[in-house]
Amino acid sequence: MSTRGAGAQARVLMIGASGRMGRAIVRVAAERPDVRICGAVVSAGSADLGRDAGELAGIGRIDVPLRADLAAALAECDVAVDFSSPAAAAANLAACVAAARPLLIGTTGLGTELAADIERAARHIALLVAPNTSLGVTLLLELVKRASQALPDDFDIEIVEAHHRRKKDAPSGTALALGRAAAQGRGQNFGEVAVTDRNGARRSGDIGFAVVRGGDIVGDHTVVFAGSGEQVQLMHRATDRNVFARGALAAAAWLCGRASGQYHMRDIIL
């Protein structure tokens, strides 16, 4: 178990350290007094194996080499942050449970088959699964839920999201989370009302999704409540990937010392 004392820096293990978010988190961690990157893990086949995580992130050497041995890296940290890939999520989760280390999963595009693993893991470790680690998006989720509760059911709900051209999952994990918040506000079963590939007229009660992919868009999400003669729009626009890194590190530090269980980003700010 971790021997981290009260007020000490949280030793963070970055899983998926060579990716966009991994590099951003390494950069932002260097600016924070409450966290320190103590390890960096990449896949066994990564071309970046052996490179220094700080040099790869563009901040200079921090004497943390990228390695593939997750179990060994977990032994030297207080908390793990996973922004690797959906294919690796189950194995990373199992390793954190075996090492009794809290885990933040920021990887998007996770399959529904991982839900049971997450539920079991939360019985043993502090676990936070966040499709978006922005504190602003965390607030937006709560506002969407409340607006959905407050507005009449004849207000149609549409979610429009935009990301860079290389993003693989569509709709984004954040867009789906916003849809679930809207459905929860109305007491709906999200799976029954979500429409991610519309063909034909809109059905009453649907929650529709529209996806834009292009350029280097960091992340735009707009939830439209469209009534007769009026609209309410709630929006979040990220212009800097560092907002996600700052939120992830705040969540990682917060997880340290927490009892086992499944937590949410809203627990940090609300």
Is 82:16 a contact under the CB 8 Å cutoff? yes
SS3 234: strand
Q: Rounded to whole angstroms, how far apart are CA atoms 79 and 254?
A: 10
**Cα-based angle 17, 18, 19 (whole degrees, multiple of 5):** 95
Distances (CA, A) of 92 to 149, 212, 230, 257: 37, 31, 47, 20
Q: Rounded to whole angstroms, how far apart are CA atoms 214 and 144?
A: 26
Active site residues: 163, 167
The DSSP-derived string for 91-121 is HHHHHHHHHT--EEE---S--GGGHHHHHHH
Burial class of residue 210 (count of CB atoms within 10 Å of its CB; 0-12, 13-18, 19+): middle
Whether the bond between 171 and the residue before it is cis, its omega within 30 degrees of 0, is yes
